[in-house]
Amino acid sequence: MTESRASASPAPSRNDDFNVRDAFRRAPRGVRWSAYVAAALALLLVLLVLAAGAFVRRPLPGIDGELELAGLDASVEVLRDEHGIAQIYADTDADLLRAQGFVAAQDRFFEMDVRRHVTSGRLAELFGEDGLETDKYIRTMGWRRVAEQEWALLDAETRDALTAYAEGVNAYIADRSTSELALEYTILGLSGLDYEPEPWEPADSLAWLKAMAWDLRGNMDDEIARVMATLDHTPEEIAQLYPAYDAEAHPPIVDGGGVVDEVFEQNATANSTRNPRRAAFNDETVRALADLQAGLRRLPQLLGRGAGIGSNSWVVDGEHSSTGRPLLANDPHLGVSQPGIWLQMGLHCREVTPDCTLQTTGFTFAGVPGVIIGHNADIAWGFTNLGPDVTDLYLERIEGRTWIQDGEPRPLEQRTETIEVRDGDAFELRIRETAHGPLLSDVSQELSTVGANAPTDRPGQRGNGYAVALQWTALEPSTTADAILALNRAGDWDEFRAAASDFAVPAQNLVYADREGHIGYQAPGLVPIRKSGNDGRMPAEGWLSANDWTGDHIPFDALPNVLDPDEGVIVTANQAVIGDDYPYQLTDDWDRGYRSTRISELLEREGELSIAEMTRVQLDTANPMAPTLVPYLLDVEELGSQYYRDGQELLADWDFTQPADSPAAAYYNAVWSNLLRLTFHDELREGIWPDGGDRWFAVVTDLLDDPVGPWWDDEATEDVVESRDDILRQAMLDARDELTTRQALDPQEWSWGHLHHLDLRHATLGESGIAPIERLFNRNGHEVGGGASIVDATSWDAAQGYEVTAAPSMRMVVSLADFDDSRYINLTGVSGHPGSSHYGDQTELFVNGEYLPWAFSRDAVVEAGENTLVLVPAEDD
């Protein structure tokens, strides 16, 4: 058997929000920032400035009194409550959105500025060589180019909104020094950066939607993982690692229905078949795809990465609500950072007129006009990730300046872009594309050699090997920005669906409720239709046109939707949208449905739900795998001394829930982590070690029924064949030793939260390697409950550690009976300034399961108001 995990060095975390963060981590602490800090004196000055406190508070915005805002037609009120959440009142949409841009810049401009550098491939301008790899990937994919192309596709009203928002941002930054905009600029300036922010452009807002789409892009990691497993395992073994979705145990969102004449009907049925051709892979391919996987994991993942990127949402009708009207809940699960991804805000017309149509409130992104998730005066909506397969990797056969398909050479599209590098020479990046998309292999030296040693009977065999291209729907210019503002203005189900029809990427499950009592669900998004040679599960052979996308997408009207189902309840938690009879291919890589099933059970148990009961469902910590695994653990004998039996005895009376203070949950999860290590690390390549999420629940559940199956055997032990019970026993022994080392000898002093802590790190300076700066920008050490694939989805990666990698980024419950009775909470706070009291003032409430009142009516907003800022037109306008 392998050694106890407790004796091994802790593995590094994968929770990397920026490539620059990863670069800071890779560098030895003694040389971090060597490119940025001219001398020790500069660091001393930083510390003196921070100690003095003046520069920490200097960027805090004015939130009372009167300020001029160029471009306004009339005065605008910005009312903030005790948590700094802004509610904006104006007489026109244009003034509302100018003020929204102004307020977003007040609270989060540095975050907005870094985001636009990331999405345009210009991170190296701020952070030097450490940002170059990210820039290469982003430039190769062309996020900013696509965003600029989308401008011409948008409705005139959307272009006006984006323009007004940009005007508000620019009005704020125009006459302020960098030290007045953000503390981060002061510190970077002391490190030698000579920088003035450029004016905000509408394309900066559009480009951020590409980052959102990238983090929710679907099954590309699974595509790579399947290939990495092919060289070492049979198709039957791979099938065990990717068991089929169990629709009987975990019902899809939409029960039944089908497509008739390209229109989805709730009571219809339809069928289709697919017969894909599988690509053959060799060791060079696997090594190269592993290299690609590693490179992509260093890309900006501002909404999170890997397992845990999902969400919960559900809606109940008036018959299931104590209010007599619908209730809607949503909590998106995204990566954790400081500040968090969301900014709470309200946009209110003083009087609704043709020139002033917005009456909406909720959660938005700093840098994007409108509200992303929330409600207006008539409807409420929530998102979860639909997760369709919208990315494909293609192995391409390259010959000189051409790529080959069906035996014919086709010209590569080529361009060269210059990446400016702080304190270094500019980098000239050659970008090449096939009809499938950009060649990511041009970024990676390893990828550029793929297939160089391929067998001679393979059609892609050439001295310079295969290239790897990415086809992704987000690289097609689209109108998602239209959808955001149309959702804000929608007044009923038909207008809601019309807005959803423009929502291209990332494809989301949309839940709906309105004041008239209706509830609904709509799947939107650009989902490609593939030719019969490609099912999207593994990288395809690009030299065969049978593997191409057809060029068409699933028609919007054919996407699953439902209005007022008989059950009176709709639950979406990233489970399968619809059954196998649906005639189009959405994906085979659904979340396995443990969360959705648990939510449905709780809603049925409660019967008539109150707002408080809806929030309790969001906070549920029951582990769905524990009832399956624990009986096996209790049956394990010969643990030896009482010291080792102590942990097992904790499980005897455990209720399978995982609050932060639970000793049993700490022990169970340590056993689970060690079980996965002992079972799979010896047989799987490191890049595809189990993360411990929902797929691994299904895998291990099946393996438990086969006590002498080959997966249980430890290949590192000669002349010994381990069984299931051997592995379970050793996992329990190792877990006991690990918790003794990490926490205490007495099991009653163990707690899940001590292992499973939430660290909120600033994406750039919070990883600087300079302890006083990290302490200023980070908010670490929150002990939380929940876990991976639990309703309270504080995910962790079993291959890396117990720390939280993704979490509910916010929680909300909307009452359609009285919007002022609604509740919400943010993971951090609305401010991006560490000197502000609102930088993290919602975090402790969030961790403790508390919510804030969500004022909507004018009277409620005024009553909650703590500060009032009046923006007035500039005198020279």
Pairing of strands 540-541, 391-399: parallel
Residue 198: C-alpha distances to residues 174, 187, 300, 383 (Å): 9, 19, 21, 33
481 vs 150: CA distance, rounded Å: 9
The binding site for Ca(2+) consists of 223, 389, 392
Give the tens place of pLDDT for each residue, 48-95: 655 668 889 999 999 999 999 999 999 999 999 999 999 999 999 999
Q: Which of 620, 597, 541 is nearest to 285 (CA)?
A: 541
63 vs 106: CA distance, rounded Å: 9
For residue 303, the one-letter residue type is L
Residue pair 562/521 in contact (Cβ under 8 Å)? The answer is yes
Residue 52: C-alpha distances to residues 48, 62, 517, 706, 772 (Å): 6, 21, 56, 65, 13
50 vs 728: CA distance, rounded Å: 51
Burial 80-118 (b: 16+ CB within 10 A, else e): bbebbbbbbbbbbbbbbbbbbbbbbbbbbbbbbbbbbbb
Mark residue 451 as left, alpha or beta (left: phi above 0; alpha: psi -120 to 50; beta: remaining): left
665 vs 304: CA distance, rounded Å: 25
Asked whether the CA dihedral 274, 277, 283, 285 is positive or negative, the reply is negative
Pairing of strands 427-434, 437-438: antiparallel
Residues 6+ apart with CB under 8 A from 456: none
- The pTM assigned to this predicted structure is 0.91
CA 534-538-540 angle, 5° bins:
50
Facing residues of 869 across strands? Answer: 65, 78
Give the tens place of pLDDT for each residue, 765-823: 988 888 888 999 999 999 999 999 999 999 999 999 999 999 999 999 999 999 999 99
* pLDDT for the residue numbered 28: 30
Q: Which of 677, 658, 628, 601 is nearest to 793 (CA)?
A: 658
What is the set of active-site residues? 311
For residue 409, the one-letter residue type is P
624 vs 601: CA distance, rounded Å: 12
776 vs 754: CA distance, rounded Å: 22
Residue 591: C-alpha distances to residues 169, 192, 318, 698 (Å): 39, 46, 29, 11
Q: In the numeric block, which tokens belong to residue 720?
A: 């010994």
Residues in the chain: 877
Residues 6+ apart with CB under 8 A from 89: 76, 77, 78, 79, 348, 349, 350, 858
705: how many CB neighbours lie within 10 A of its CB? 8
* pLDDT for the residue numbered 828: 98
Residue 812: C-alpha distances to residues 100, 162, 304, 361, 761 (Å): 21, 27, 20, 12, 23
Ranges of the chain whose pLDDT falls below 50: 1-41, 269-278, 302-308, 446-464
* pLDDT for the residue numbered 279: 53
777 vs 772: CA distance, rounded Å: 9
The binding site consists of 223, 389, 392
In the sheet that holds 519-522, the strands lie side by side as 65-69, 867-873, 76-80, 86-90, 343-349, 359-364, 373-376, 379-385, 508-514, 519-522, 561-563
Q: Which of 717, 873, 688 is nearest to 797 (CA)?
A: 688
Residue pair 703/728 in contact (Cβ under 8 Å)? The answer is no
